[in-house]
Amino acid sequence: MAGMDDLITAREAAALLRLHVKRVQTLARAGKLPAVRYGRKWLFDRRKLVAAGTQAESDVSSPIEISARNQLRGRIADIRADGVMAEVRIQIGDQELVSIITRSSAERMGLKRGDEVFAVIKSTEVMVGKRQ
């Protein structure tokens, strides 16, 4: 490992790689990012992390596993952030789905028009309608 000046925390590594801190920790635990455990914390060598960043980004683009079964793939048609919230319009085929998320989540994820995303729907109730 490098000198203490070159070591960064998982939160700093997440900001550097533009990933969620939990994802950075998971990649470190799996040996996909260069890191060492110090007590309960992960520490990263900034130079090695930057070099490994390209691989980490390709790992993130692999299919996500999530408990929700209703996942719809689409592209961001528009995103508007105002105050603490952001409205994300997702084009799914010839349909559009609108999601309201926090502005900080949209910024953390680096969401922009044209990005391929998943709309994940988790609900206790889904209604079905049919024209008669």
Instruction: Please spell the DSSP secondary structure of 64-123, one letter per residue.
Output: P--S-SEEEEEEEEEEEEETTEEEEEEEETTEEEEEEEEHHHHHHHT--TT-EEEEEE--
Q: Which two tokens stand for residue 48?
A: 């090695």
* Domains of the chain as residue ranges with CATH: 4-60 (1.10.10), 70-121 (2.40.50.100)
Q: What is the mean pLDDT of residues 88-102?
A: 93
Q: What percent of the chain has pLDDT over 70?
A: 81
Tens digit of pLDDT for each residue in 14-60? 888 878 888 888 888 888 888 888 888 999 888 887 776 545 444 44
Q: Report pLDDT for 1.
A: 45
